[in-house]
Structure 1
């Protein structure tokens, strides 16, 4: 019934029949065109608000994503153990954590003393080699000073982003690491419960597509991280063995640094290679050239053999795209953003690929229906 004309039906109470029509709300826009434009403005305002909220919560969201990455590592290890030992998931996750702690304990106990001595000498060697490099540039006519080099290094470091910007200094680093570990362990123990919770917040008609995308993202994340860990081990071991054969000092420390920095593609290889060459030239020109050859051999072996094998099983990302995204994440979130840039970019690509796949399936379905009709 229409209340605007004050009419009443035979079954209405007397009070309703005698009350005058209420009419339209004062805030109602009469023009259909204006209502459409107001709706668009509201939608854009909501989008801008969500973007602003995401920026405000970016650090917390990045920590949660780091926990997801850590949980994927644990989950991958638990699934691998499950193929050999048919035990419950909780026990398999516990085995992965125990093996990880045992490896770290071995690294500290058996290799800690040697590595700590090398780490104490490492800054002195790098500084001495930097001074020699500056002297070489001066000998060839370049007017450069130590202060200028330090200024450039400081500018680059501030451009890439500092650890304090990402996680708030040393205390924040410890707190962030603990949060990532704890949240990651909880996620790895029962990931399906958290997946169902996220799916519940999605509209019911889109849950099936969202679940499909989520499962593909988790699958590719596990394979990406497994391949990344394999690449880290290969680079670290090869670097240590070859540098030990050459006789380069601090071979163990350089192997560990190279392996750890291999988690960050492109940028990690550049940093580890620079450090390796600086230490190599501290033993003379011949050792430095052999160190340079070792670096190129390890990187080519990893780039042309290991990485293509991994890329066939995981998300294949263009190197320039990865490097650009790493620079953006490094500027915005510092070291933590730099470390998580590659997994995040891979998950974005998987989500876009699944969306495109659904559109292709829908188009094929419509085309087949038209042909059948």
Structure 2
């Protein structure tokens, strides 16, 4: 009897490990479907958060509140397009037309600098790579079309999930043995809470970073500063990689004015990343998920290799969910180790 009891923790660890391996193989085989489902979950979490906000201050039911939220989002988006659509389109068109000139100024500056010969070799290699990429334009267009279809499915699926979250949650729990349903329900709730907190904090950080970056570039006299601020805000959703990609066009456009302005644009992005990393994120995410930077970087490349570009975009929220599930199901439940669960005040495993 005692030996059977002592074997239970070991058996539990083996079963959890086998389940994780099986889950990994399933994800590999159904990667596109998994990505669409997870994107729908992210959309549903955002919508459900807005629904909770509406029901908190009104007597509306969840279903009616969801309808109100969807109407407000559509009307709000239409108003933004009516008020700023032409300006945004103009900024983006100016950006498109200015980049070739900016690239030419950058090459002239490099040719005149001591790094010119070395940089020219790297530019030639980049040009060859871009030429090879252009030859695959048809395949890239088909891929973009597929990604657009996936995005539509994510939005529609997210609306359905947000309309009846309890139905889908209970349905998922019924896939597990009865004695495990309470544990899985707790794990789902913990990951949902962490994801909701992370998304809210990230959206706020995107707004702040995009606004301050646009103002900083405008103060320096960088062309198309407003458009660059929008790009920075959108790309900031992808940690680490996004800000680097956003800085490239800003620095190039700075060269159309002067090398000093280009260096100033680079300084704006460096300063903003320091502010975001050391001020914004600790304040915003202190009750959410503090992901280790190394783990986040590895997940970006790993999930990106598995799912492609859409995977890179959703890598951070996916890492949040996996991080919480591993903590709750493996570290706490299987190993019996006390650990704080992100999004909660208490330490689990006591």
**TM-score (norm. length: structure 1):** 0.76
SS at match of 2:232: helix
- Equivalence for 1:24: none
Q: Which has the higher contact order (CA 8 A, sep 6+)?
A: 2
Over the aligned positions, Cα root-mean-square deviation in angstroms equals 3.0
Tell me the CA shift for residue 259 of structure 1: 0.7
Contact 1:75 1:222 (8 Å CA) reproduced: no
- Counterparts of 2:138 and 2:273, CA distance in 1: 27
Q: Give unmatched runs, 5+ long, in structure 1.
A: 1-43, 364-373
**1:69 matches 2:42:** yes
- Equivalence for 2:71: 98
SS at match of 2:57: coil
- Equivalence for 1:26: none
Matched residue pairs, number?
315
Contact 2:214 2:225 (8 Å CA) reproduced: yes
Tell me the CA shift for residue 257 of structure 1: 0.5
- Equivalence for 1:197: 171
Q: Give unmatched runs, 5+ long, in structure 2.
A: 1-16, 339-350
Tell me the CA shift for residue 45 of structure 1: 11
- Equivalence for 1:60: 33
- Counterparts of 1:297 and 1:47, CA distance in 2: 40
SS at match of 1:83: helix
2:333 aligned residue (358, 364, 369): 358
SS at match of 1:202: coil
Tell me the CA shift for residue 250 of structure 1: 1.1
1:58-83 CA distance string (max 9 Å, x none): 10111100100111111112222333
1:151 aligned residue (122, 128, 140): 128
CA spacing shift, 1:148–1:99, aligned 2, 3 Å: same
Contact 1:163 1:334 (8 Å CA) reproduced: no
1:90-127 CA distance string (max 9 Å, x none): 22222332332233223322222222222223234223
- Equivalence for 1:110: 83
Tell me the CA shift for residue 163 of structure 1: 12
Contact 2:46 2:199 (8 Å CA) reproduced: yes
**TM-score (norm. length: structure 2):** 0.80
Tell me the CA shift for residue 282 of structure 1: 1.8
Contact 2:102 2:254 (8 Å CA) reproduced: no
Contact 2:147 2:310 (8 Å CA) reproduced: no
**1:126 matches 2:103:** no
CA spacing shift, 1:299–1:49, aligned 2, 3 Å: closer
